[in-house]
Amino acid sequence: MKILIKNGRVVDPTQKLDAVTDILIENGKIKKLGQGLTLADCETFDAAGLVVTPGLIDVHTHMREPGLEAKEDIISGTKAAAAGGVTTVACMPNTKPVIDTSIVISGIKQRAAADGYAHVEVIGAISKGERGEELAEMGDMAQKGVMAFSDDGHYVKSSRLFTLAAKYVTTFDKPLICHAIDPELGAEGYMHEGAVSARIGVPGVPSVAEDIAVARDCLIAEYTGAHVHIAHVASKGAIEIVRQAKKRGVNITSEVTVHHLTLTDEACIKYNPAARVSPPLRSKEHVEALRAAVLDGTVDAIVTDHAPHAPEEKDVEFRYAPCGFCGLETSLAVILTDLYYTKIFDLNTIISKMSCEPAKLFKINGGTLKEGSIADITIMDLNKEWTVDSSKFYTRGKATPYEGKVCKGKAVATLLAGEFVMRDGVLCTK
């Protein structure tokens, strides 16, 4: 199959490319880039006025399969990804059963290959059942192509176990992804501890709970030499610890979520259960520190932490709502609206952190439009205005703190290995 994308503004930070040019796709790969390309026997997509980029890569999502399909499954989750311009997702292991054996990984990969609308990378558990007591079958999972290891949703409290895991993963060159919040310091909180939590009478999670956990994990990375990736950093103290570790040459990387870059704890004032997340939405000073860290390279990836729940689970009082909300279908639009159009981030930064750098960091096939590379492509309309309406989401989880938000910018087409999976804002029939 041949597709010719014509007249689009192609933005690819891996080639330092930002220019109007054409892209010829053949047999699922980028065949040629250049101006004025023509080919008689191919499908042509006119991208005039649109931006064409490497497919977005989200290295922190929850597909919920196996066992929690009432919240999400591979099909609904990857549909949401394609609708949001995301071509690759990495799914966290806190499923039921936990992804802690190679057989579960094989099942997810087969399911995604057969029915998915996006590529699915799998993250295996560090410990059996994510209980933090005994190492999972990390070697077997590595052989099955696991992307990384994490006990996401849980902090590995045992420094001994985490050190053993860090030493072990260096054997097969896989990162550890850390959910770094001290569970004892954060156990009694439901949102960020600060002026807002005091005003509305909700116990808070102090930022030091995050700082302490990140500091330990950085020290273990320094001791073992393992690649340790800090998930969803939300506090200014934690990001400074990461920054200083990087300066010392520690093999530390980090990510930040779209919501931690664009929302503060003010979103919790009306006790909106959709705004309950872990780590919690923090105050303005923390948000500003995270934005600065994206710009100076301390943050390597921008993610969603897409964490859908069944509607009835989130439709409860704030304190009783599970942490997390859906993000795949809003992430690009929110970033463009709140950070691109406010001139805080430029387009190169956004594409680098949402595609190119995650691909390089986790050795994912994608994140570039170089000739010969896989034709995973996101096409976006920077001028498209629309309003977030969760009733139109493809994800099964409908909770979002962005409900009713007027956005400017949207993915309008998504190609997966050279085939359209979303076009003109509508998913294609597989």
What tokens were used for 34?
């250049």
Q: Is the dihedral of CA 132, 133, 139, 141 positive or negative?
A: negative
| Residue 200 and residue 269 in contact, taking contact as beta carbons nearer than 8 Å | yes
Q: Which residues are bridge partners to 18 per DSSP?
A: 11
| DSSP 8-class letter at 16 | T
For the residues of 47-111, what is the DSSP string, one character each?
-TT-EEEEPEEEEEE---TTT-TTT--HHHHHHHHHHTTEEEEEE-S-SSS-S-SHHHHHHHHHH
- The rounded distance, in Å, linking the Cα atoms of 226 and 38 is 48
Q: Is the dihedral of CA 111, 421, 377, 383 positive or negative?
A: negative
- Determine which one of 152, 305, 338, 381 is catalytic: 305
Q: Are strands 17-26 and 29-34 parallel, antiparallel or unpaired?
A: antiparallel
Which residues touch 220 (CB under 8 Å, ≥6 apart)? 159, 162, 163, 166, 226, 228
Q: How many CB atoms lie within 10 A of CB 391?
A: 6
Could you tell me which of 147, 159, 160, 168 has the C-alpha nearest to residue 99?
A: 147
Q: How many CB atoms lie within 10 A of CB 314?
A: 24
100 included as an active-site residue: no
What are the residue numbers of the active site?
Answer: 305
